[in-house]
């Protein structure tokens, strides 16, 4: 029979792994050169699509220490992402005038985690905690 | 009604999310192959002189970037776990600069 410690560790690993994964909730950002402060943990994502015009290079850096440089050739599409923590800033340079998109994607842990909703629910029901 | 298990799961999700993010602690290596001292991200920097590629990979992930303008810097990164070996691959027109290991917040 698994011990409480083993059960807790298994749960922590499963939940922890899920927590860092990207969710589907995105915030669209403007093209060009900008600095963006992450409102929560997540990923800075860039899609770049070039038509028949010349190929272009785009750059992305975060204050967390990660950087990206990528070249998108003519008539090609590329996509990259860099993780960023809440409060860290990202400066990016993505050319406008092309079929490109920059957006911030929240992690699953941010969407499904946190205690506010749980505590509100517990107080509203007037219930007490217990092991399930 | 929320149980203790729900409480723990919600707290773990929020903390786990932060734990996986890059933690601003950077160690620089000047070699093209190294063993990660903790969980985090391996980022490679290089300079290209002509159209060519730069890649970085561990046992499961690979990231590749191409050069467009000679003399421009090339950067790419992969997530990496503690104890895993990371290797840089590059074309003949690329001059390797360094590999930065960025530790995650929760990195062991």
Structure confidence at residue A128 (pLDDT)? 40
Structure confidence at residue B10 (pLDDT)? 85
Q: At A35, which helix (H) or strand (E)? A: strand A32-37
* A109 with B13: Cβ contact below 8 A: yes
Calculate how close chain A gets to B99, using CA atoms only, in Å.
11
Angle at B63 between CA B59 and CA B68, to 5 degrees: 155
The closest CB to that of B23, out of A18, A55, A64, belongs to A64
Most confident of A113-117, B47-51, B97-101: B97-101
Structure-model confidence comparison of residues A53 and B54, the more confident one? B54
Q: Which two tokens stand for residue B97?
A: 């600069």
Decide if A108 touches B, using CB distance below 8 A.
yes
Q: Tell which residue, A96, A94, A102, A99, has the closest CA to residue A74.
A: A99
Q: Tell which residue, B77, B76, B73, has the closest CA to residue B49.
A: B73
Structure-model confidence comparison of residues A96 and B42, the more confident one? B42
SS3 B41: strand
Most confident of A21-30, A36-45, A120-129: A36-45
The distance from CA A76 to its chain's CA centroid, rounded to whole angstroms, is 24
* A129 with B68: Cβ contact below 8 A: no
Q: Which two tokens stand for residue B74?
A: 């090339």
Sign of the C-alpha dihedral computed for residues B22, B24, B29 and B30 taken in this order: positive
* A71 with B21: Cβ contact below 8 A: no
Q: Tell me, what DSSP letter sits at residue A106?
A: E
């Amino acid at each position: 029979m698994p011990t409480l410690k083993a059960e807790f560790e298994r749960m922590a690993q499963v939940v922890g792994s899920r927590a860092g994964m990207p969710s589907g909730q995105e915030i669209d950002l403007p093209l060009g050169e900008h600095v963006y402060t992450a409102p929560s943990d997540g990923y800075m994502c860039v899609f770049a699509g070039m038509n028949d015009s010349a190929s272009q290079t785009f750059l992305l850096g975060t204050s967390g220490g990660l950087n990206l440089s990528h070249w998108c050739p003519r008539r090609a599409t590329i996509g990259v992402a860099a993780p960023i923590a809440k409060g860290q800033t990202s400066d990016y340079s993505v050319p406008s005038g092309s079929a490109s998109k920059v957006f911030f994607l929240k992690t699953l842990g941010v969407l499904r985690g946190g205690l506010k909703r749980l505590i509100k629910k517990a107080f509203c029901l007037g219930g007490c905690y217990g092991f399930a | 009604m929320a149980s203790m298990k729900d409480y723990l799961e919600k707290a773990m999700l929020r903390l786990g999310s932060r734990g996986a993010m890059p933690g601003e602690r950077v160690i620089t290596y000047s070699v093209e192959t190294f063993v990660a001292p903790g969980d985090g991200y391996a980022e490679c920097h290089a300079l290209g002189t002509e159209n060519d590629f730069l890649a970085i990979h561990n046992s499961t992930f690979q990231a590749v970037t191409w050069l467009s303008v000679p003399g421009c810097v090339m950067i790419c990164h992969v997530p990496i776990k503690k104890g895993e070996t990371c290797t840089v691959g590059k074309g003949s027109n690329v001059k390797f600069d360094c590999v930065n290991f960025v530790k995650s917040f929760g990195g062991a």
